[in-house]
Structure formats: C-alpha cells, structure tokens
Structure 1
C-alpha cells in the first residue's frame, strides 16, 4: 500500500560496508529503510494487538471448543 505522506528526514547508522555495497548496486537505501521500518511497525502493532486482546481471543477459542463454530452446518467447504 503506497500512501502519499509527508516525508521527514532522519539519520540512521548502518554498517559502512553494507552501505557501500548498496550504493554500488544502485539500491535506494531510503526506500529500503522505509519499507523495513514500515514492516517492523506493522509487526509490532500486530503483536501489541494480540497481547492486548489475548484474553478475549482465548475466551472465544474456549467458546468454540465448547460449542463448535457458529453456522458450521452451513459451511460450504467441509474440512473434517
């Protein structure tokens, strides 16, 4: 997903050899860094959400274990 957002300059510290190799390969270090940071943010947010909602998710799983999947009788693709 590409968003037109305001960019902000920042400084990062990276291994000199890796940076030199990236430049020699004409890699866009800023774009790669931004993509890696965006991925890390998404993953951290997902972990945080899972931790915050762990109790509710466990309760739902327990309910399904006890009662079965809602509307399972109407499921088109049977897996059992």
Structure 2
C-alpha cells in the first residue's frame, strides 16, 4: 500500500486502551492519522535530542568561546 505521496506504508500494531478507542470513535478521531503524526513528532524529538547529545562537546566549546571572546561579528549587528 502507498500513500498519496508514493511512499510505501507498513502496518504496525498499536494497543490503545478500550476507553481511548471508544472516545476516539465518539469524537470522530482517525486513530491511524493521529498515531502516524505522533510517531513522526516523537522521531523528530528523538533526532533533535540525539543531535544535541552528539554535539554537546562542540556546543559547550562554542558557548565557552563566546563567553570569553564575545560574538565574532558583534560589530556588524544591527540590534
């Protein structure tokens, strides 16, 4: 099965509680779309956190440099 974007989809099992599924049905919520959107958001958050961890040393070095030397192009700032 492929989406309208042409990207193939794969099925995955999720196990929401009976109460959540019932409420979703009453409210007309498309559980599949919500699940996909939340998974995409979780992956984005995870990638951002991973990037921060992988680059923590460089970020600390840069912050230390700025604290000691100021911004490299400070004289060109308009604000």
Settle same-fold status: TM greater than 0.5. yes
TM-score (normalizing by structure 1): 0.88
Give the length in aligned residue pairs.
75
Q: Which runs of 5+ in 2 are unaligned?
A: none
List structure 1 runs of 4+ shifted beyond 6 angstroms.
none
TM-score (normalizing by structure 2): 0.89
Corresponding residue to 2:63 among 34, 42, 61: 61
Q: Structure 2: how far apart are the matches of 1:6 and 1:67?
A: 51
What is the CA distance between 1:43 and its match in structure 2? 0.4
Q: Structure 1: how far apart are the matches of 2:32 and 2:72?
A: 47
Q: Which runs of 5+ in 1 are unaligned?
A: none
